[in-house]
Structure 1
C-alpha cells in the first residue's frame, strides 16, 4: 500500500478532503474549477459562497462549514481507509483523461480525491485493469459468462473492475476471486457501506484481495447521482470495458458511454437473440460501437491492439442507449454569482 506523497501539499490534501465531504461525486462545476484553479482556491471560493444564499455554491458552502478535514482523515484511518489525490504515487494516471471528455447526466471531471480501502495499490492494480459490467437482473447465461470471463482475465494477471451490484457485477468480482486474482469494487457510497447489504461478505473479500474505491466519503449512502458518477470511475480506471448483458436502457450502458468518450476499447459479450437482457449489448455489437468478445483472450487482444492504436476501437455511442438526460460536452465552469466573493488568492 502506498503512503501519501511527500511532494503533495498538505493544504491541497486537506482542501480536497473537505470538498469530497461536501460535494456530490462528479459535480462538474467543482471538479472543473479544481482542475483550473486548484483545490485550495476553490475551497476558499465555496466557503465564501456559503454566505450568499443566491449563489450556486451556497449549499456546498454550508456543508463545508461543518466539515473537519483532519478529523475525517483520522476517523477513516482507524478503520483502514485512506484518501488519495492527484500527485500521490497511488493515484491512477488514467483518471486525468476524465478532465477533457465532457459530462454525462451532469457528472464529470477528474475526482477531487478517492477514498480507498484495502491492502493493494491502486496504481499497480489498475495497470492491467479491465471493467466487466452488465445487467443487475442477469440471466444464468450472463452470470456464467461474467464469472468465467473474469476468472480467465484474473488468471492472466488482469485486475477486474466492477461495481459490486447484483447480477453481472457480483459474478465478475467472484470470478476474479475464484482465480485468486485482484479485483476492484467501485462503490456509489462510502467504502465502509456495502451496497447492496447482502454483499457485505463479498466486499470484505475484495478488500482483503484487492481494493474498494469511492468518491463519496466514509459513511455516505448510495444515491442515483452517485451511481451515475460511479460509472465514469469504473471506466476511467480501466484499459477497456466489457458489457455482459444489458437491455436497451441498462445502466451498464452509462459505463459503456464513458468508455467510448475516453477512446478506450468497448467490448460486448453477445447474448441470445431471444433474450431481452442482451438487446442492448447485441445492438452495440451490430452497430459496430462495441467489438464482440467471447473469451478473455479476445478481450486482451482488443485492449492491447486498440489501445496501442489510440482510437479506442469503437464508434461514438448512440445517445439513445444512455438512460436519462443527454450528455453535455461542455465543461461546466461556473462564474461567480453577483454578490459572491471571488476565490481568495
Structure 2
C-alpha cells in the first residue's frame, strides 16, 4: 500500500520514528518487529521505562528527539516538495530490503514518479571514489550508460566523483537512475549536485531514510550504503582507496549475498588499491557493461567472446603458415633451408611458396625466397 493507502496511524508512527531513530538502528528495528510502530512511537513519546537494548542515557536522548518530532508537519512538507513516504507492507516497498533484518529502513522518502519496487528488481549499484581520476569518471559514466542502454537501473549515492559520473552516464543514455541520499531528499547534498539531483528526480528517483530537511553526517553516509547494497542485484566499484566508503557498500553487498564487482586500474594507483584488494577476494573483475550484465542478468545475457584482431595470415592453411614462419626476417633463404624450418619436403615447401607469392607474402630472389615488407609486418603483429 502507498502512503495514501497505509493506515494513517501506522504511517504517522513510522514517519515519527524516522525523526527519532538513526538509520540502521538495530535495537529500534527489533522494537518495531516485536511491538509494532504504533507502540514503539507511543513508548518513546511517553518516556518511562526504556525499551530493552538501550541504556537509560540513550533512552533519554531518544525521548528528547521524540519531544521535537512533528510527523504531520514532516508529511505536509514532503508532499509540498513532491515527496512520498514508502514503508514496509506498502506495494512500492522493495522486498529485498528485508534482507537487512532489524537494520532495514523504518521507511523511505521517495522523490520521483517511477515505482521504487519495480526499479529495484533490475538495478545495479555503481559506486567509487569521490576524488576520482579522469579514468574513474570515464569508466563510471561508460558503465552506467551501457547498463542503462541494456534496460538496467543505475543506483548510486549522488556524491561527487564516481557517483555523479554514474548518474550522468545513465541520464545521458536516456536511462534510469536512482540516487540514495544520506539526508532529506528535499535538500540535496552535496549542494554542488543540486541541479544533477533535481534532474534525477525528474527522470528517475531520489531516495533517503531521513525526514525532510535533515542533514548528513559521516555515520549516515556509511549507513546509507547498506541500502544501496540491499536494493540492487550487484555492486560495481570503480576506483576506491583502502578506506573508501564504497568498499563498505561492496562488503555489505557480499554479506547480503549480492554480487560484487570491481573495475581494475593501474597497479600504482592509490585510488585503485581498494578495488584491487576486493578483486583478490570474492569480487569479480569487470571492464564494461556487458560483463556486468552477464553476472547479474538472466540466462542468455552473455558478454561477447573477447579475442584479438583477425590478421590475414590467420586465414592461411596451417602448412602455408609453417612455411611462412620458416622464412628468415631480413634475408632470402633457399628452398631446402625453408623446408627444414617448416618440417616438410622441399617440393611441398616450393608449392607453398608459390601460393604465398600469389598472396603477396613472399618474393623470389634468384634461387632464394624472401618475405615481402607486408609479410614482415604481419609476422611482427602476430608475435606481439
Instruction: Tell me which interval the TM-score lies in, with the shorter structure as reference length.
Output: 0.7 to 0.9
Moved more, 30-39 or 143-152: 30-39
Number of residue equivalences: 295
1:305, distance to aligned residue in structure 2 (A) = 6.3
Is 1:277 the counterpart of 2:271 in the alignment? yes
1:242 to 225, 231, 236: 236
On the 8 A contact 1:247/1:281 being kept in 2, the answer is: yes
Q: 1:69 aligns with which of 68, 71, 78?
A: 71
8 Å contact from structure 2 (residues 3, 11) kept in 1: no
Q: TM-score, structure 1 length as denominator?
A: 0.82
Higher-Rg structure is 2
Listed one character per residue, the Cα deviations across residues 121-157 of structure 1 (whole Å, up to 9, x for unaligned) are 1112112010000011101111100000000001111
Cα RMSD for the two superposed structures: 1.8
User: Which residue in 1 is equivalent to 2:80?
Assistant: 78
Match in the other structure for 1:106: none
1:340 corresponds in structure 2 to: none
**After superposition, what is the alpha-carbon deviation per residue over 1:288-330, rounded to whole angstroms, capped at 9, x for unaligned?**
x200111111111111369xxxxxxxxxxxxxxxxxxxxxxxx
Displacement of 1:71: 2.1
Counterpart position of 2:254: 260
Structure ranking higher on relative contact order (CA contacts 8 Å, 6+ apart):
1
Q: Give the conservation status (yes or no) of the 8 Å contact 1:15–1:43.
A: yes
- The answer for unaligned runs of 5 or more in structure 1 is 101-108, 307-345
Matched, 1:24 2:22: yes
Q: Distance in 1 between matches of 2:247 and 2:91?
A: 31
Match of 1:4 in 2: 3
Q: Which residue of 2 aligns with 1:290?
A: 283
Structure 2: distance between partners of 1:55 and 1:190: 27
Q: 1:49 — aligned with what?
A: 47
Alignment of 1:214-253 (within 5 A): 214-253=208-247
| Larger mean Cα displacement after TM superposition, 199-208 or 65-74 | 65-74
- Return the alpha-carbon distance in structure 2 between the equivalents of residues 253 and 78 of structure 1: 36
Q: Distance in 2 between matches of 1:51 and 1:70?
A: 26
Gaps of 5+ in 2: 300-384
2:141 — aligned with what?
147
Q: How does 1:107-118 map to 2 (within 5 A)?
A: 109-118=103-112
1:90-105 mapped onto 2 (5 Å cutoff):
90-99=92-101
Looking at structure 1, the residues matched to 283 and 48 of structure 2 have their Cα atoms a distance apart, in angstroms, of 45
Correspondent of 1:207 among 182, 201, 212: 201
CA distance in 1, matches of 2:217, 2:82: 24
Distance in 2 separating the partners of 1:167 and 1:31: 33
